[in-house]
Amino acid sequence: MSTVEVRAAAAGDAPEIARIQRITWRTAYTDMLGEQALAQLDSPDAEQSWVDAIAHPDTTVQLATEGTFIVGFCVAGLAPREEVASAAGELPDDAESTGLIATILVEPRWGRRGHGSRLLAGAAAELRRRGAKRGITWVAESDSASLSFFRRAGWRPDGTVRTLDTGQRRLRELRLTGELEIELVD
């Protein structure tokens, strides 16, 4: 059995993160996003965007590994005000102590092995270390796999919805919120 772990990303991991994002989005999100949005993932700037994200002081990028393979990643940080505000623009009392799970992706061939759960638990621990008391994330309303994953971790929709325009499609997302004391879920 291979060793599995979660570790912090380094700049040299950017090409692999970009590759996992391309494969996972093309596998899971083509119908939701459209080919035009996915084509941007092939841009020469895609890897540099990941180098920049890894270096950003307010963001944590963590990797799930199995043996010598990087199999998934998670991006998290304290939630920007516009992410935690209500639809009317009002901030909750705990806005300054709310973390954002911006994305969790596991390459499909490595799915159902607990990597997503380890990434969520690792990100939650890092957010707690940074002073966050609860977390939020945005999930496409039609992404039943991600919605189920977060629900198993105890996260629930908080009633806030947003619609994103991908250039070809409109994508409705639900904001989920949950505790950062994460028990590993499969």
Q: What pLDDT does 184 receive?
A: 59
Backbone angles phi, psi at 19, to 5 degrees: -65, -45
Strands of the sheet with 59-66, listed across from one edge: 4-8, 59-66, 69-78, 98-106, 134-140, 170-179, 156-165
Running DSSP on this structure, what letter comes out for residue 131? T
- Each residue's pLDDT expressed in tens, for the chain with a length of 186 residues: 689 999 999 999 999 999 999 999 888 877 777 677 777 777 778 899 999 999 999 999 999 999 999 999 999 999 999 999 998 899 999 999 999 999 999 999 988 889 999 999 999 999 999 999 999 999 999 999 999 999 999 999 999 999 988 777 788 999 999 999 986 544
Question: Could you tell me the pTM of the whole model?
Answer: 0.92
Determine the Cα–Cα distance for residues 68 and 78; give it in Å rounded to an integer: 30
H or E segment to which residue 136 belongs: strand 134-140
